[in-house]
Structure 1
Amino acid sequence: MMQATPPHVLLIDDDLAVLGMVSDALTHHNMRVHAFHDGSDALKFLEDPAAPAFDLVLSDINMDGMDGFDVIHRVKALKPSLPVVLMTGQASLDYAIRAMRLGAANLFQKPLTLRELVNSVFHLVGLHRELRLAEAGLKGLVRETRHFCFRSRELDIPSTVAHLTDRLVPLGFATPNNVDVIAVAYHEALVNALEHGNLELDSSLKGDLFSPKDDYAVLSQARLADPQYGNRSVEVELLATPGRYEVSIRDEGPGFDTSRIGLVPDETLIRQCGRGLAMIRMVMDEVEHNSKGNEIRMTLLRKV
């Protein structure tokens, strides 16, 4: 759990007993803790040019004066990529939702489990340092490209998704809170290219969970074994620039009429392309299709 350079943590809690306990636990694990019992004083220190480069802010929510929600709001305005972990003795669903919407990296309920708290802090510190290094590296980045081409019968969708998402967080195009959702969007796009594109499968063949026979799966396996379908390619291209992260996926299927996208309901489109297309459009900042309808380009804009 040791870091090469001791992390700097800004700790805020108006309960002096908790402040001392958490400070001792983090210090024991080689962290440099800057403890404050007042949120306003802590934020003034954070803004001080002479202050160290902080790796994380850890704050109680229920405090007199500036509470934890005020703290995270100010921190995110000053340093958007700096992770903030909140603590509270009055945890509720409303608190959790509000904390996540404000950008909290985690929320811990008191009484604290120090082992879990310390582990979370170490994880977030490591992630933040990757972000800082990536941000420094992006200053010289003009473009980064990757190109994959698979036959239908050899396409490994989970591995391809892993390659497409491995640098999203370090490069600032995603956060730990939403990278899994983006991964699902890429997964859906690859499934669409394989099943609805190259294999030309119709979603209406899918039975319900309790159907004795899955005609969709049977036809999928048959077409993967048929060179006419199984030898078709899925091409994946990644283009990353300092501000944009574009992933294009192209199949060799017949495509579909893209002019129907956005028309609700359109069951024909759902049968041809699956319901994942709607999810993709919600997750991505930009989604475009070629005129044939056999290529999708999904773009994320840099957030931090």
Structure 2
Amino acid sequence: MSKILIVEDEAAIRRVLKKIISEENDTYQVEEAEDGLEGIELIKNNDYDLVLCDIKMPKMDGVEVLEKAKKIKPETPIVMISGHGELDTAVNTMRLGAFDYISKPPDLNRLLNTVRNALDRKVLVVENKRLKKKVSKNYEMIGESESISHIKDIIEKVAATDARVLITGPNGTGKELVAHWLHEKSERAKEQMIEVNCAAIPTELIESELFGHVKGSFTGANKDRAGKFEAANGGTIFLDEIGYMSLSAQAKVLRALQENKISRVGSDKDIKVNVRVVAATNKDLNKEIEEGRFREDLYHRLAVILIKVPALNDRREDIPLLIDFFSKKISEEQGNPKKTFSDEAVQLLQKYDWTGNIRELRNIVERLIILGEKQISENDVKLFASK
């Protein structure tokens, strides 16, 4: 059922509009407001799929209603109703975010087409927003354990903000999945998430990788090159394994966080960046700080929100869900029918010591799918997944 509000000070016009709209579709729920102030109050307290708003009204004119309504409910389409002397104003309201305008007295076909189009647009806007918030299946977080549910709750609260997040946990637990969830559920999802594995980049190259360099700044710097912070501008940069970053690079990252600007290696020119920083590590950074290998001030800048991802051994109740998920995904990748696991096979896998965490579990599931029978049995697990 679509909910429509008519904001119009002339009772006769309100009646005509309501009659036309209600007769077009009996599922439309039409409400009325006799002036702009009443209209704004109703918009604040209700979720309308469409607002029809007169321009010239006492107490608060339609332009002001439009401006306030777009701040309160930006997704709600607003159609302006204009008299003959108000057409210029009606056209200007389009620049302020109005969906369309109709003239008095309203033409039946024009009115109904505008209503239908506006309602269709509202559906599309809501669906697009839902899809943006839906995390890509490539980065699903599988599990219903208390620890995973807690992480999901934190992500829901934090994703829409620009708060920096530090993700900790052993290797193979899925720290990068948490980072992707944070990005894809944020308002920055339309921009890139740039990933940097700090442990995989040689110490002498990490600064160039992060901040770029200018031609001639070091041997091999044959041309100017932008770094990862510039590439992530407007989006998110994910600094994975940040515990391996050199102290000199840490100092530059700290400056980027403090001042929202960086400088390329070999240059004194500042470059402004608007980047959300998410970091992850398998190291105990407090111990690294004590031993002088990690800056305490950088730690506090990064750890505004701290998310600890548990080892798989600490969330064994999620193993059946993970096995089912990996079995389906791997079978699809290989173009084969999904293989199932017997209850006994799953129970045996739940007892294993998963030192490699989720990454190890996925490898074992893939091995069993390749080597095991149509239904993976307890015997298959003993033969092909012995630890």
TM-score bracket, normalised by the shorter chain, equals 0.3 to 0.5
Give the structure-1-normalised TM-score.
0.44
Which structure has more relative contact order (CA 8 Å, sep 6+)? It is 1
Which is greater in Rg?
2
Give the structure-2-normalised TM-score.
0.35
